[in-house]
Structures are given as C-alpha cells and as structure tokens.
Amino acid sequence: DAGVIQSPRHEVTEMGQEVTLRCKPISGHDYLFWYRQTMMRGLELLIYFNNNVPIDDSGMPEDRFSAKMPNASFSTLKIQPSEPRDSAVYFCASSPGSGAGELFFGEGSRLTVL
Amino acid sequence: GDSVTQMEGPVTLSEEAFLTINCTYTATGYPSLFWYVQYPGEGLQLLLKATKADDKGSNKGFEATYRKETTSFHLEKGSVQVSDSAVYFCALSDQRGSYIPTFGRGTSLIVHP
C-alpha cells in the first residue's frame, strides 16, 4: 500500500486566502484523523472521522476551519480565511480501528501564512 | 481523562550512549501503549507497542516494558546512533474507551558523533 498521501507538501499563502489540504487514507481504514503540529502547542487533534462521519471536531480551533470526508478515500481540511497563526504542519492519519490504536501518518502539509 | 507525560527534551547524547526517555500515563481503562518516532520532515511512525501489563515492545534496538504498577512505559536503547536523532512520542489508546490515541508532548533526541 502507498500509505497515507497528503497534498500539498508545502503551501505558502497570504493572510486571508483560502487553503485546502487533502488526504487519501490507506484503503480499508475506518478512521481518519487531522492533526496540527506546532512548536508551541505540540501535536493537536483537530477532528476525526469514522466511516466518513465526523465524530469529534472539538479540536477545530474556530469556524474558519472545516473538514469533510465525502468518501472513504478522500478528505479535505479547509481554512478560510487563513491567518498567520495558522502556520503549522498539518498531518492526516488513518487507522483500521478494531481497537488496535495504531495510527498511520502521512508526511504532512507544511503551511505558511504570510 | 487519559493523559501521557513525557520527559522534556531535548535529550543530547553521544553516539553509542545509553538512552532512556521516560513516559508515564494516566488511564481509567485498559490502555495499549505506543512509542512513535518522527524523523525530521516526516510524519510520525510507530516504533513499538505493548497491549497489556508486563508486555515488552521492541524494534530497531529500542524497547519498552508496560509497567502497570508504576503506570510507565519508558523507552530504552543500549547504544544510540546519529540516525536515531528524532522526536519520540509516547501514546496510549484505551481499548475499552474512546479508542482515540492520546499523545505526549514528544521528546527530541539529538545524537552527536
């Protein structure tokens, strides 16, 4: 399997612009997670899906952030409008569930908002 | 709620030194315990895991033992290499609870030649 695939790997944008990050989970995995990583706050869980349904979005920082999973093989995280404090590395991870607890991470999308 | 506490880094060692990174946890259920490693510019990847008390997880020369009596899962390696330089995350997943993993803050390891 190719693993979890994220795009873009790097994104530089200006404040106020819309940013869309994309994720393709490992085929057959029931869970999909979006994390944000910064030096100050470490690794933060933003939202997770089970069978394409959002289960917990309490980690989404504010209404500017939204996430969708229209099918089992694709998810997006959107920031609109973006702000400099959104600069971070955003990770997507998937898991087969079944109580295994192990997550498979993508390589991340590094976002810089100027 | 569940939580994981790791020693703060960075941990700086010379090549071939012995490594210990401490991890303690709090959980109300029956957690599985994990160590993940993040190399520069990459995502996290599973290093090792243990699913019940007294289990020892091991991989790439690293090992950790699930100690229920001390609620700990310390990571050890007998002889580190420069290529082990990375950030190490301890995590737990409560198999009878929400299942969603809880991560520690991560510990940066720097190994000098």
Which stretches of chain B drop beneath a pLDDT of 70? 95-99
Residue A58 touches partner B, C-beta closer than 8 Å: no
pLDDT tier for residue A2 given thresholds of 50, 70 and 90: confident
Instruction: Determine if the peptide bond prior to A84 is cis (ω within 30°).
Output: no
What size, in residues, is chain B? 113
Test mutation, B36, B47, B99, chain A, max A CBs within 10 A? B99
Residue whose C-alpha is closest to residue A24's, from A10, A5, A2: A5
The pLDDT tens digits of the residues spanning A4-25 come to: 999 999 999 999 999 999 999 9
Instruction: Give how far A107 is from chain B: nearest CA, Å.
Output: 4
- Type of residue found at B68: K
pLDDT tier for residue A87 given thresholds of 50, 70 and 90: very high
Distance between CA B91 and CA B82 in Å, rounded? 24
The pLDDT tens digits of the residues spanning B52-66 come to: 999 999 999 999 999
What average pLDDT does range A63-86 have in this prediction?
A: 96
Distance between CA A45 and CA B21 in Å, rounded? 23
Show Cβ contacts of residue A14 under 8 Å, excluding neighbours closer than 6 positions.
A113, A114
